[in-house]
């Protein structure tokens, strides 16, 4: 088991842990600027994004919307779908309770449909598990795993990891059936470090008590 302090060392260059609930527009802009600076730095050759929504069900709409919003953001910043791994329950857009079928919005004015027709979900529904997430980060996927389900980073890659969902002290719930804790994440990041699979990493936790995933 990896000590919590190791997470600081593994992500030493650039780490952000932010609870976005109720965040102001100004603060959101600052977070986006930080991300843009991280992805646009000139000391690496490629960027990867791993975006994970650990929630399902209609009442967790906001988590799905947050993840899709981040997906649009990293694409706008130049990361292609081939370097974005999106893990999403994907049960909101076509939910019977959705008054606007096949759409997902993050604003009451519904100015931007986050779902649209150009979203590539790599791990969908019950594929979103703690095991699959850890296997993805550590590269221990099955031999037959397709390319879109692999993190093919190297020692010149910058990796942005975003996780959102319902959480508590030291953990995130995953599809209401299991949990992932800070030790699981720290251990996976340690393996990434030992295998020289990134140059810099930004880890963003968007949940209640997000700071406990790091402190």
**Model confidence pLDDT, tens digit, residues 63-120:** 999 999 999 999 999 999 999 999 999 888 899 999 999 999 888 888 899 998 789 9
Minimal CA–CA distance to 164: which of 102, 87, 106, 105? Answer: 87
d(CA 23, CA 206): 11
Task: Enumerate domains of the chain plus CATH numbers.
Answer: 4-148+175-213 (3.40.50.1460)
Q: Give pTM, 2 decimals.
A: 0.83
d(CA 19, CA 208): 6
- Band (pLDDT 50/70/90 cuts) for residue 29 is low
pLDDT at 35: 80
Token pair recorded at residue 71:
């997906």
CA angle 183, 187, 188 (to 5 degrees): 120
CB 134 within 8 Å of CB 184: yes
For 96, counting Cβ atoms within 10 Å of its Cβ (0-12 exposed, 13-18 middle, 19+ buried), the class is exposed
CB 191 within 8 Å of CB 151: no
| 197 pLDDT more than 80 | yes
Q: In what order do the strands lie in the sheet with 167-168?
A: 167-168, 171-174, 178-181
């Amino acid at each position: 088991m990896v000590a919590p302090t190791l997470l600081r060392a593994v992500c030493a260059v650039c780490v952000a842990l932010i609870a976005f609930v109720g965040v102001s527009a100004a603060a959101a802009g600052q977070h986006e600027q930080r991300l843009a600076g991280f992805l646009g730095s000139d000391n690496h050759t490629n960027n990867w994004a791993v975006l994970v929504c650990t929630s399902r069900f209609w009442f967790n709409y906001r988590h799905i919307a947050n993840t899709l919003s981040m997906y649009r953001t990293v694409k706008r910043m130049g990361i292609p779908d081939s370097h974005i791994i999106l893990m999403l329950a994907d049960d909101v857009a076509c939910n019977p309770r959705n008054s606007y079928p096949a759409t997902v919005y993050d604003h009451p004015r519904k100015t931007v449909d986050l779902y649209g027709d150009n979203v590539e979900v790599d791990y969908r529904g019950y594929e979103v598990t703690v095991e699959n997430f850890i296997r993805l980060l550590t590269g221990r996927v099955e031999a037959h795993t397709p390319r879109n389900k692999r993190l093919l980073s190297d020692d010149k890659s910058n990796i942005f990891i975003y996780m959102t969902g319902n959480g508590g002290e030291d953990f995130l719930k995953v599809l209401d059936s299991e949990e992932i804790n800070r030790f699981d994440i720290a251990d996976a990041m340690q393996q990434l470090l030992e295998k020289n699979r990134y140059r810099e990493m930004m880890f963003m936790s968007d949940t209640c008590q997000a700071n406990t995933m790091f402190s």
